[in-house]
Chains A and B, each alone.
Chain A
Amino acid sequence: MPKVLLIEDDRELGGQITTTLEGAGFEVTWWTEGKVPDPEGLDLVIVDLMLPGMYGLDILKALRAESDLPVLVLSARTDTSDKIRALKLGADDYLTKPFWPDELVERAKARLRRPFLARSEELEVGPLKVHLDDHRVTLHGRPLDLTPTERALLTALARRRGAAVTRGALVDALDAQHDGAERNLDVHISRLRKKLGDPALVETVWGVGYRLAVKSPA
């Protein structure tokens, strides 16, 4: 269970956030006063800017001096300068009040998500494995016979697993194979789906493009 330290002086809002985060599977410690936390054992700090005791940006500064623990800043100010200062001091993200509980949970989870190692030599998405070194693609361990264009498409999708890849970005990937006409994109995707054996593995995302399903289809 990820451990979150919340530093928020408003008792009503602090209580609500604690409840929301606990409901979303976080273990929450809540402080109502500004002071520098010990990063040991913490996964995320959510800190308000206006705090009694110590200003939120000062806490961030002190924390950054010794740790790269993810920090999400809460702000009720609409000035750009506060956000820029927070980001410059090393905040990972900020959330402007007013916000919905779901918004906070989504931002918190995004901060805990480990950065996807797209540079690794092997991309693994569900049953799919894309070997970047020798351009091999396997599905459930069996090698797939793909054209260079299909392999480029699959690699572009696998690099962003779980995220929708825009048609523009996919066409750019086709460009590298000298096959960059947008009207060809759907044809290639259709062929790729057939070769993968399960059309649901490559999802169409309305208005955006395509996405490689993270979960293995049943």
Chain B
Amino acid sequence: MRLLVRVAVVTAAVAAPMVLGLVALDALSRHRAAEVALAGIATDRMARPGARARCEADPEAWGAEVPRPTGPRASVERPPEPRTPPPGPRGAPPRFTPYTAALAPSRRGATNIAKLVQDDLRNAQWTPVDRDLLDAEVRVAVRMPWAEGPCAVILVEGSTTPGFLGAFLPASEVWLAPLVAVLLTVLIALVPVVRRLERLIAAVEASAAGGFVAPPEVAGHDEVAALSRAFTAASAEVGRQLAARDDRERALREFLSNTTHDVMLPLTVLMQHLAVARAGLEDDAPLRAPVVGAIDEAHYIAALIQNLSAVARLDVVEPRLELGPVDLNAVVDRVVARHRAMAVERGVELVSGVPEAPVLVDADLTFIEQAVSNVVYNAIHYNRVDGHVAVVLDRTSPGFLLRVLDDGPGIPGAELHRLVERGFRGNAARGRGTSGHGLGLHITHTVAKLHGFGLEFENRPEGGLQVSLHGPAAV
């Protein structure tokens, strides 16, 4: 819930029972005050000279309007001084009804109050007849100092109607105005605070979006400004940590880049030597097996180094692609040329087919070549003598479909979806090679994902594996 709405709801929730309580308390006080006043009025009236005689002479007629109370009398409990009635409409004057000491009405048609007050009146000089203290109608039974005759108990009736009697609240509801004003003031005063908080939220969000470079500052001297300074300090620390992380990543990347660069040259020289050595050996020469083995390992090391370089660029929080138009025909040609020697050595036929016109895609040249290279490497590496590997590039209506097919052992169905997991080694038949470290196909998968290309692995019905890479053509 929004802060301002919440404050309004809470304020209303607190104020409403408070107002109701005040009104109820005021009504109660009015009632009590009216009871005391009416008892006093009755006692006063009967204490006047000849009052008792007039009442007893004609109880039926006695009880006409009497003057307003003028003050307490010593003969009764002194009621609290009623407030001066405000000008304006006044309540009806009190009405008197005489009763005998046994509480029998002395006037025809009068209400029977015996059951209501006889117990209370035995111990007190007067008692309220009704128990509903919030009611505006007030009835009090007053016992006279004598116990004989038709006027031993006087029932006096009146009301708490505004003007006649009052408690602590003004008769007019104008007293509600300050309360409402206070509540509104609270809400209005909160608006700028909420606005400042909203500004702080926006500043913190903008700062986070910008990598915590710009501090989330909100000017001022209040708690919101203090909070913004705390955020600024926190974002500075986050910025420092991020910068340190970036520095570490950069250093690691540079180290890997320099190391692989330094290894590339001697490895190229080594590979030329091995190729020359292999060319000079007859098929039945005793040195053939170790030289071919060394060539195989050189292939592996070369692929591994290329993959390590790729990982150095891919294993960052946000891998950066250097996108540009890439000629997939040329990529296929290069990858096939790269693996030709390896395929020949293993007795695997490596073939390729590409469309006549170059298929251009928007991609990172190095990554896409490495991704295809890893699939082709695996297809050759896990094949058998007289096996086949085909790299087929076709133009499709949305873009391209690049397939690498082999007639090797394939992959158990249950392991197909795990091929791209980093570190997945698969079954014994595919235990070594670039995927021996679970790097090769994981890189292919990551590269496809970063480019938004699809990558699928499936066992061919004829046997062997088909890896498909597909995506849109360059715009």
Q: Which residues of A contact B (CB under 8 A)?
A: 10, 12-13, 16-17, 19-20, 76-81, 83-84, 93, 95-103, 106-107, 110, 118, 159-160, 163-166, 168-169, 205-209
Contact = CB atoms under 8 A, between A and B. Distances in A.
B356 A160 contact: yes
Contact of A103 (B269, B338, B366, B367): B338
Contacts of B302: 98
A13 B269 contact: yes
B7 interface: no
Given A10-B265, A16-B273, A166-B354, A102 B341 contact: yes
B272 A20 contact: yes
B104 interface: no
Nearest to A13: B269
Contacts of B271: 98-101
Nearest to A206: B388
A158 to B, nearest CB: 11
Given A79-B366, A99-B268, A103-B341, A163 B353 contact: yes
Contacts, number: 134
B275 A166 contact: no
B333 interface: yes
From B337, B338, B351, B389, residue with most partner A Cβ within 10 Å: B337
Interface in B253-302: 257, 260-261, 264-265, 267-273, 275-276, 298, 302
A84 B363 CA distance: 11
B129 to A, nearest CB: 102
A160 B352 CA distance: 13
8 contacts: A13-B268, A101-B272, A106-B337, A166-B353, A166-B393, A169-B353, A207-B351, A207-B390
A100 B275 contact: yes
Contacts of B265: 10, 13, 76, 97
B50 to A, nearest CB: 124
Contacts of A95: 334
Contacts of A76: 261, 264-265, 268
A80 B367 CA distance: 8
Given A80-B364, A206-B388, A164 B340 contact: no
Contact of A78 (B309, B338, B389, B401): B309
Contact of B275 (A101, A106, A169): A101
B349 interface: yes
Nearest to B460: A207
B94 to A, nearest CB: 105
Contacts of B273: 16
Given A84-B365, A93-B330, A159-B356, 5 more contacts: A78-B313, A84-B322, A97-B268, A99-B338, A169-B356
A100 B340 CA distance: 9
B341 A97 contact: no
B100 interface: no
Contacts of A97: 264-265, 267-268
Given A78-B260, A159-B356, A206 B366 contact: no
A16 B269 contact: yes
A205 B134 CA distance: 105
The main secondary structure of chain B at its interface with chain A is helix
A107 B338 CA distance: 9
Contacts of B364: 80
Contacts of B268: 13, 76, 97-99
Contact of A207 (B276, B393, B405): B405
Nearest to B390: A207
Interface in B326-384: 330, 333-334, 337-338, 340-341, 344, 349, 351-356, 364-367
B273 to A, nearest CB: 7
B269 A209 contact: no
Contacts of A118: 356
B272 A13 contact: yes
B200 interface: no
Contacts of B270: 98
A101 B276 CA distance: 9
B118 interface: no
Nearest to A207: B390
Nearest to B263: A98
B315 to A, nearest CB: 14
B443 to A, nearest CB: 12
A76 B364 CA distance: 17
B310 interface: yes
Contact of B355 (A12, A20, A166): A166
B269 A78 contact: no
> Which 3 A-B pairs give the minimum distances between C-beta atoms?
A207-B390, A208-B353, A168-B394
A207 B394 CA distance: 13
B392 interface: yes
B170 interface: no
Contact of B351 (A78, A80, A101, A206): A206
B451 to A, nearest CB: 13
B240 to A, nearest CB: 29
B306 interface: yes
B394 A169 contact: yes
A69 B389 CA distance: 34
B306 A78 contact: yes
A21 to B, nearest CB: 11
B230 to A, nearest CB: 42
Nearest to B321: A80
A209 B353 contact: yes
A98 B267 CA distance: 6
B211 interface: no
B324 interface: yes
A10 B264 CA distance: 12
Contacts of A208: 351-353, 390, 392
Given A84-B322, A84-B365, A107 B264 contact: no
A209 B257 CA distance: 40
Contacts of B257: 77-79
